[in-house]
């Protein structure tokens, strides 16, 4: 089937590549000519395990194409998937500007009957508006229908999550649209849940916000554990055997980041408010997460007289391991505070440095300074204090003895609970984690 994909971010690019892997004829569209050119060369603009290899494979196979010419891509496509960004607005609502732009381009370009499929995360009711918007601007006498097909990939495992999804959610208003989407996904061999459009839109928010709630709940319990002398890892171990709870998203830490959970919790909160309803659970989740991100900095501030002139090792910049994405990463909030306090930061991350440099260029910043290094050991060398923000394997493998040997003052604040408190204490490291 001939498929066009608008947008080559995490959603659009991964979807397009995976459709091509299933032997659909796929053209991915982006406005950035430089980005398109490097993808034509088989280079992925984002780090995601297995993605670059699939780009190269399907480029060579001839099932995957990249272009800035949306007219050529959309003109005779059987289905057009919209995977552009819906960034957060200052009030928490979703910015649908990119969706509107692509919708109008589609309306003014398509020359045959076409199914438009919105994969971007959008507020409930947006697909109805997209369908009407496209019909308002149609140039040719063709039939257009809009379907909802939200993605449920996790950054770091996006390719695997797409090819081996637990389920495919499709939201349609006709049997014809449902049948076409099922045909597109038939080669994947995955369970398909077919619902109405608005239900599909809500499923996406409900799932993401539930997982965000789970994380914030565990962080709240972890903070209480510290006060009453319990260990959150023991608590999580006891909880995970309950099948009603499960074992995933029970790790306490410094809060969630990334492109989904922060944006989607605020968007659902905004949507509820628009309809005169207060989502108290989601509001509490947002509040807990905001405070949790800088909990370790606040602990360290109580311990230190000042950060001014101190060498601070920062291990991990991305919001999670397996990705180069820094959007809403807890490291960002903490680095800003540390720089304002005069710290000289030496940061290490296996994949996130280039993106971090766009936010924090090397050199003098605020009252402190920023330096990027090639290894965790280099960051720790003669450091006065260390913050751990990401659970990369390269960071996990640091031993308590290395902290003791490398650092001027072996003082470690671990936001991912990567190390054993007893082992750190035995090695002579002053160690603080979350909920232990």
156 vs 245: which has the higher pLDDT = 245
| 103 sits in which H/E element | helix 97-107
Domain boundaries, the chain: 2-195, 203-292, 294-432
- Please check whether the two domains, 2-195 and 294-432, share a CATH topology: yes
Q: Residue 260 catalytic? A: yes
Strand partners, 171: 148, 195
Whether residue 93 is predicted with pLDDT greater than 90 in this model: the reply is no
Given the candidates 3.30.365.10, 3.40.50.170, 3.40.50.720, 2.40.37.10, the CATH classification of the domain at 294-432 is 3.40.50.720
Tens digits of residue pLDDT in 143-196: 999 999 999 988 889 999 999 999 999 999 999 999 999 999 999 999 999 999
The pairing of beta strand 363-365 with beta strand 368-372: antiparallel
Does position 394 have pLDDT exceeding 90, yes or no?
yes
What is the topology classification, in CATH, of domain 2-195? Rossmann fold (3.40.50)
Alpha helices in 241-319 (DSSP H): 261-274, 280-293, 295-303
CATH topology (fold) of 203-292: 1.10.1040
259: pLDDT confidence band, cut at 50, 70 and 90?
A: confident
Q: What is the pLDDT of residues 102-140, one digit of tens each?
A: 999 999 999 999 999 999 999 999 999 999 999 999 999
Residue 22 CA to residue 183 CA, distance in Å, equals: 12
Please say if the pLDDT value at position 239 is more than 90. Answer: yes
pLDDT of residue 88: 87
Residue 74's contacts (CB-CB under 8 Å, 6 or more residues apart) are 4, 29, 80, 105, 106, 109, 110, 114
Q: Which of 114, 225, 260, 386 is catalytic?
A: 260
> Tens digit of pLDDT for each residue in 271-305?
999 999 999 999 999 999 999 999 999 999 999 99
Percentage of the chain with pLDDT > 70?
Answer: 100
Find the mean pLDDT for residues 350-376: 97
141: confidence class by pLDDT, cuts 50, 70, 90: very high
Q: Convert the pLDDT of each residue in 319-354 to its tens digit.
A: 999 999 999 999 999 999 999 999 999 999 999 999
What does the pLDDT read at residue 92?
A: 83
């Amino acid at each position: 089937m001939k498929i066009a994909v608008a947008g080559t971010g995490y959603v659009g690019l991964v979807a397009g590549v995976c459709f091509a892997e299933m032997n659909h004829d796929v053209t991915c569209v982006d406005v950035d000519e430089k980005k398109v050119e490097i993808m034509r060369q088989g280079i992925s603009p984002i780090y995601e395990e297995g993605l670059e290899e699939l780009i190269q494979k399907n480029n060579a196979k001839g099932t995957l194409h990249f272009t800035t010419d949306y007219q050529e891509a959309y003109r005779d496509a059987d289905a057009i998937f919209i995977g552009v960004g819906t960034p957060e607005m200052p009030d928490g609502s979703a910015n649908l500007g990119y969706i509107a732009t692509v919708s109008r381009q589609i309306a003014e370009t398509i020359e045959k009957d076409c199914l438009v499929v919105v994969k971007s995360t959008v507020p409930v009711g947006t697909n109805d508006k997209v369908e009407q918007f496209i019909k308002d601007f149609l140039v040719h006498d063709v039939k257009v229908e809009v379907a909802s097909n939200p993605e449920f990939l996790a950054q770091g495992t996006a390719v695997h999550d797409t090819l081996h999804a637990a389920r495919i959610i499709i939201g349609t208003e006709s049997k014809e649209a449902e049948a076409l989407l099922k045909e597109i996904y038939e080669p994947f061999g995955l369970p398909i849940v077919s619902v109405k459009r608005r239900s599909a839109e809500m499923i996406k928010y409900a799932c993401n916000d539930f997982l965000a709630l789970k994380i914030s709940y565990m962080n709240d319990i972890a903070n209480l554990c510290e006060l009453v002398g319990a260990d959150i890892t023991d608590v999580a171990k006891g909880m995970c055997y309950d099948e009603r709870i499960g074992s995933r998203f029970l790790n306490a830490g410094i809060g969630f980041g990334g492109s989904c959970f922060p944006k989607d919790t605020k968007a659902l909160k905004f949507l509820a408010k628009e309809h005169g309803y207060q989502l108290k659970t989601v509001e509490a989740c947002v509040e807990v997460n905001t405070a949790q991100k800088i909990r370790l900095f606040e602990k360290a501030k109580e311990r230190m007289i000042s950060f001014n002139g101190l060498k601070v090792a920062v291990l991990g910049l991305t919001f999670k391991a397996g990705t180069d994405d820094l959007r809403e990463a807890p490291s960002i909030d903490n680095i800003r505070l540390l720089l304002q306090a005069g710290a000289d930061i030496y940061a290490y991350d296996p994949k996130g440095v280039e993106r971090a440099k766009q936010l924090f260029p090397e050199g003098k910043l605020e009252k402190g300074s920023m330096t990027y290094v090639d290894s965790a050991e280099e960051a720790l060398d003669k450091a006065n204090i260390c913050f751990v923000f990401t659970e990369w394997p390269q960071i996990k493998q640091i031993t308590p003895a290395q902290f003791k040997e490398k650092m001027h003052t072996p003082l470690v604040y671990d936001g991912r609970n990567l190390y054993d408190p007893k082992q750190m204490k035995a090695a002579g490291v002053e160690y603080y984690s979350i909920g232990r």
